[in-house]
Chains A and B, each alone.
Chain A
């Protein structure tokens, strides 16, 4: 079946940039998403990118898409302690009713 993989943990210093990576297998996916989850909470949509785009910037967030390598990344500039959370990459599955296929999540820890 379709698969989405992420590295499980990332630790950065406050003020540095964070880069969270994701690879996926569904080459027909049209939209790819990044969600943020804080402890005990639901998922908050951060940003998305359409598959015919290479890059999208939204304030401190930059999404890069390499469709050939099926690689997606999320860069957070000037990372703050409030950015500490789990970040999920999600791919809109092309073979069904737009259900999302999620990675296991990357836990971002921001330290002073």
Chain B
């Protein structure tokens, strides 16, 4: 079990450029979450996939953000026309539903985005 992996770990881009991040969940997990963490804050929920279906999106996810999980395995998060306010750590977590509705989300190392 290699855990949740994310790529790249760091990304510096200029305002207005598009960026794409990738998340590879733990292989047997069918649930995948994206969160965003800004400096000094806890992670905030962005979106959720169950297999390939995107079932929930936060109001934080503006039209410039799009996420996919095409085959129910890895996921991508794209930000178009980046703004300085998009600078944050983007965290991916995966899980599977266990007995008693217990669900433990395991987090990847995150992708730190800096928009200049």
Q: Give A contacts to B, CB under 8 Å.
A: 4, 30-31, 33, 35, 40-45, 48, 50, 88, 90, 92, 96-105
Contacts and interface: CB of A to CB of B under 8 A. Distances in A.
Contacts of A98: 31, 95, 97, 101, 103
A42 B103 contact: no
Nearest to A98: B103
Nearest to A8: B40
Given A42-B4, A97-B55, A104-B42, 13 more contacts: A41-B110, A42-B108, A42-B110, A43-B93, A45-B105, A97-B31, A98-B95, A100-B33, A100-B35, A100-B43, A100-B45, A102-B43, A104-B41
B59 to A, nearest CB: 10
Contacts of B108: 42
Secondary structure at the A interface, as helix, strand, loop or mixed, is strand
Interface string B57-69: 0000000000000
